[in-house]
Amino acid sequence: MLLKSRYFPTLIALLSVLLSSTAVGSDNDYRRLPLSQIQKLAQQGDLKAQLEWATALEHGEGIKRDIDSAIVWYCRAAGRGSSDAQRSLGWIYANGRHGIRKDDVAAAYWLDRAASNGDDYAARLVKRIVVDVVAPKQTGCTHVAKAPWLKQRCSSSGCRKIVALVERLSFDFQLDADLVLAVISAESGFDPRAESNSGAQGLMQLIPATAERFGVRNSWNKEQNLRGGMAYLRWLLAYFEGNVEHALAGYNAGEQRVKQYRGVPPYAETQAYVQRIIADYGKRFHRFDKRWLKRSSPGGGRVAQQLASAGPRLDG
C-alpha cells in the first residue's frame, strides 16, 4: 500500500470545510434541541441524534470534549450505515488529534465505507490517502466486521445484508461482529433457513429451549434469531468471564457440560466447533460484563439436548 502523505494539507483543508457543513446534513432541527434531549434521543436509537451527539462530543460543543465517547457514538451511527459518521471517523484517524493516534489505513477504510454508501466527497478524499484500501487491524469499532474470510463465504447481496444487520446489533449487544459472524458461519453457513436434525433453526441455530429462554418468538425471523443467539453468546461470555473457548463450548454443548468437564467437553463435535471458530475469530478473550448474567439462568445447549436422548459422543 502506498501512502500519499503529500496530499495531507489539502486533505485536512477539504475535510474541515466538509465536516463543518455536512456533519448532520441539512436538518437543523436537532441543533436547536437541548443537548440533554439529543443525548436521550441518541440513546433511544435516533440516528440523526447519535450523529449530532457524537459531533458535540468530538468538538466540545456545549459539553466537555470527549473524543473516545465521540468515536463510540460515531461507530454506532456508522454501523447503521451513516456515511456522515463513517466520514467523520475517517477524519478523526486522518488527523490523529486529541490523543487519537493518526492512522492512514483506518482513515482510508472509513472514507471508503462512506464512499460505498454514496458519499462522493469521501470517494474523492480516499484516493488522496492510499492507492489500495485494505482492512485495518483496528477500525476503532469492534462491531465492524473485518474478518478476511468474509468475502469468500459471504458474497451475495442477501448475505451482505446479514452482515450489516450483525454489525448494527453487535454494538447494542457489545459483541465483536467478527465473533458473531464466525459463529454464524459455523452454525448455518449464513443460511437463514438452515435447520438441523435436532430442530435448531436459523442463522444462529437456536433450539426451542434457547429461543424461549431469550425471548425469541420466531426463530425464522433473521433479526429475532440474531438477537436470541447474540443474547445467549453475551450471557455465556459473562458466565465464563470472557473465556471465548468456554463460551463457544457452552453455546454448542451447554454451559453445564463445560462446568462438568472444567473446560471444553470431550465431544468430537464440540471440540471441532470451538477450534473452527477460534481459527476464524483469532482471539481467546472477549470483554464481558457480569450484569449480562441477570438476563437469564444456566441452561443446556444443542449438544446437551442431543446427549439427553442419544448418550455422549466422545472423541476417541
Torsion of CA 185, 190, 171, 149, to 10 degrees: 50
Amino acid at 248: L
> SS3 helix, strand, coil % of the chain, rounded to 5?
60, 5, 35
CB 25 within 8 A of CB 77: no
CB 82 within 8 A of CB 47: yes
Measured in whole angstroms, how far is the alpha carbon of residue 219 from the centre of its chain?
A: 21
187 is an active site residue = yes
Query: Cell 483469532 appears where?
Result: 282
- Which of 207, 225, 186 lies closest to 305, judged by CA? 207
The per-residue b/e assignment along 246-264, b for 16 or more CB within 10 angstroms, e otherwise, is bbbbbbbbbbebbeeeeeb
Name the E strands within 129-285. Answer: none
Per annotation, catalytic residue among 52, 58, 167, 187 = 187
CB 278 within 8 A of CB 284: yes
Q: Which residues are catalytic?
A: 187
